[in-house]
Amino acid sequence: MQEELTEEQILSLRENLLKLESQLRAILEQTESQGKPVDLDEPIGRLSRMDAIQQQKMQSAGREAQKIQLAQVRRALSSIEDNEYGFCRRCEEPVGFRRLCIQPEAPFCVRCQSAREKNL
């Protein structure tokens, strides 16, 4: 069983969350123009066009994952303000400091996250 977070640990994790939020916002701003659709009328070869479309889809998927992570970071920051940070949203047990150091936006403990992944 994990122990509840101390005030010092919460402050440290809050700083990590704020840095991560800033990094994600910067990445999303930098890559905003890269998600433009491929111009099918552009005079390039068929394979080059297919490659460009594939690259665009990969960038779009990456941006979507970053948007989801940013939303999780913002929820975690909000939960700090509500004194609910560090508790699993499913079983309400402490998530654990070591897990939150690796993924400070983690909403679930390892056991509940594993159960969720098995159900997918």
Residue whose C-alpha is closest to residue 68's, from 103, 16, 34: 103
The class level of CATH for 7-119 reads mainly alpha
Helical residues (DSSP H) of 32-96, grouped into ranges: 46-81
Domain boundaries, the chain: 7-119
Question: For the whole model, what pTM was predicted?
Answer: 0.80
Per-residue pLDDT of 82-111, as tens digits, reads: 999 999 999 999 999 999 999 999 999 999
- Cβ count near 79 (within 10 Å): 17
* Residue 48: predicted pLDDT: 73
The rounded distance, in Å, linking the Cα atoms of 30 and 12 is 27
Measured CA to CA in angstroms, residue 25 lies from 36, 67, 74 at distances of: 18, 9, 11
Structure tokens at 16: 């990590």
DSSP 1-52: -PPPPPHHHHHHHHHHHHHHHHHHHHHHHHHGGGGPPP-TTS---HHHHHHH
Look at residue 9 and tell me whether its pLDDT is greater than 90.
Answer: yes
